[in-house]
């Protein structure tokens, strides 16, 4: 399966049986799956979402948003629970307006689930970590 390195954006081919064994990037040698949400920007969002073969869950948020701050620890916990099964990313809507406009983000927090580079699900509002894991279906 193809995985985009969250550190250097290199494509890595990882055998499915190795996903659970903390594979490292062939270019920068950092861990591909950190178990933490990754910060993405307008510059790397589309490549990361379109090239990864694992599902990607994106949290569109802003630092001034109270519900977004409530969602942050739940999203971090879900990232740990879904390590190796899905990649969780955060996109600051204020700093990255192109990604927000392209994906029609109207309210925050909004979660988008991407499979094969295409939006599969959308959910707005705060969601507990366990519910997020069930919603992701991975």
Q: Which residue has the tokens 């983000």?
A: 105
68 has catalytic annotation? yes
Question: One of 5, 8, 28, 65 is an active-site residue; which one?
Answer: 65
Contacts of 29 (CB under 8 A, 6+ apart): none
65 has catalytic annotation? yes
Closest CA to 49 of 84, 13, 3: 3
Instruction: Output the six-digit token pair for 108.
Output: 């925050």
Question: One of 5, 8, 25, 68 is an active-site residue; which one?
Answer: 68
Whole-angstrom distance, CA of residue 11 vs CA of residue 127 = 31
Active-site annotation, residues: 65, 68
């Amino acid at each position: 399966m193809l995985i985009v390195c969250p550190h250097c954006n290199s494509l890595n081919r990882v055998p499915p049986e190795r996903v659970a064994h903390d594979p490292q990037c062939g270019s920068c040698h950092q861990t591909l799956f950190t178990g933490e949400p990754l910060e993405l920007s307008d510059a790397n969002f589309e490549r990361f979402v379109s090239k990864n073969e694992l599902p990607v869950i994106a949290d569109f948020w802003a630092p001034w948003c109270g519900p977004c701050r409530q969602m942050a620890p739940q999203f971090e916990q879900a990232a740990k629970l879904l390590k190796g099964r899905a990649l969780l990313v955060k996109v600051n809507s204020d700093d990255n307006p192109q990604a927000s406009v392209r994906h029609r983000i109207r309210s925050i927090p909004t979660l988008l689930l991407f499979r094969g580079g295409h939006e599969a699900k959308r959910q707005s509002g705060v969601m507990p970590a366990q519910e997020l894991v069930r919603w992701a279906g991975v």
